[in-house]
Amino acid sequence: MGILVRKAFIKDFTAVYQFICELQGKVFDKETMSTLYSENISNPNYIYLVACDDNTAVGYASCHTQNLLHHAGKVAEVQEMFVKPTYRSNGVGKLLMDELKKIAKEKGALQLEVTTRALREKAIQFYVREHFEDSHKKLVHYF
């Protein structure tokens, strides 16, 4: 398996859209998602990556960076990460994460953060293996 991790392009939208829908377990409005994807992919504060096997997208990760006063600097935060089930436990997630870490550091981030739902136990195990510390609680107010 020769997996290549590269910057995501507009042409990757359909695969990324499918990955996000599967990740969240719901179907999003494709037109809205396309607009958001186009906006974000051109924003220098966002990092969008795809993992490809023979030019077929098999994984995706996104991250954004922002300057935060309470860190006195730039912080990167993983927003989405997905690997097709048939490619899991084969190092694809690690390749995506290694590239995210590298690019975030190059952009001057002081740290990389990730939030995931508590029920995603395998994802949490992956992030712990990738040296993320369980140091915060996320509280959400839904509208």
The CATH superfamily of 3-129 is Gcn5-related N-acetyltransferase (GNAT) (3.40.630.30)
| pLDDT at 44 > cutoff 90 | yes
Q: Which of 21-30, 74-83, 133-142 has the lowest mean pLDDT?
A: 133-142
Domain assignments of the chain as residue spans, ordered by start: 3-129
Average pLDDT, the chain: 94
Q: Write out pLDDT tens, residues 72-110.
A: 999 999 999 999 999 999 999 999 999 999 999 999 999
| Residue listed under structure tokens 């359909």 | 14
CA atoms within 13 A on the CB side of 48: 22
pTM of the model: 0.91
Radius of gyration of the chain (CA): 15
Q: Which residues lie closer than 8 Å to 51 by C-beta, 6 or more apart? A: 3, 4, 5, 57, 58, 59, 60, 61, 83, 87, 92, 95, 96
